[in-house]
Amino acid sequence: MNNRVKYLRKEKLHLSQEEFGNKISVSDTTISKVEKGVSVLTERNIKSICREFNVSPLWLKTGEGDIFLKFHDTLLDELANEYNLTEIEKKLVSSFLKLNQNNRKIITDYLKSAFLDD
């Protein structure tokens, strides 16, 4: 799995260890140790990588199948068509879905206070 993490980070996402680690809330040292095979990914880290980068858990764990999940894009395209979303609206929805739960709550609370009557 260590080689797949490094491949994903460098070749597919073009992120530094620090940038990659920040996205999944771990240090660059942790990513370095995982990539070198000194440490193993926790189940939480595996889930974070898959959620944050739309990565297939099967690929990350075994190397089988496609790296990225197609379902997210397909579902988002269906929503965009159904609701006639512009490209910027589609990107906003996609970006929102990639946020961690805490950041989603912050944005949701703000939008609720700005647009909904209590």
The answer to whether residues 57 and 27 belong to one domain is: yes
* Residue-by-residue DSSP string for 15-76: --HHHHHHHTT--HHHHHHHHHTSS---HHHHHHHHHHHTB-HHHHHHS-S-SB-SHHHHHH
Q: Is the pLDDT of residue 73 over 70?
A: no
CATH of the domain at 9: 1.10.260.40
The answer to whether residues 6 and 42 belong to one domain is: yes
List pLDDT tens digits, range 32-57: 999 999 999 999 999 999 989 989 99
The answer to whether residues 13 and 53 belong to one domain is: yes
Q: Is the pLDDT of residue 94 over 90?
A: no
Supply the DSSP symbol for 115: H
Domain boundary residue, one of 62, 80, 102: 62
The answer to whether residues 87 and 106 belong to one domain is: yes
The answer to whether residues 11 and 39 belong to one domain is: yes
C-alpha closest to that of 49 among 11, 14, 76, 9: 9
- Cβ 18 vs Cβ 47: under 8 Å: no
Mean pLDDT, the chain, rounded, equals 91
Strand partners for 68? 55
Q: Domain range for residue 89?
A: 71-115
**Stated pTM of the model:** 0.61
The answer to whether residues 18 and 39 belong to one domain is: yes
Residue type, 49: I
Domain boundary residue, one of 18, 33, 62: 62
Q: Is the pLDDT of residue 26 over 90?
A: yes
The answer to whether residues 51 and 90 belong to one domain is: no
Write down the pLDDT at residue 70. Answer: 74
The answer to whether residues 54 and 77 belong to one domain is: no
The total domain count for the chain is: 2
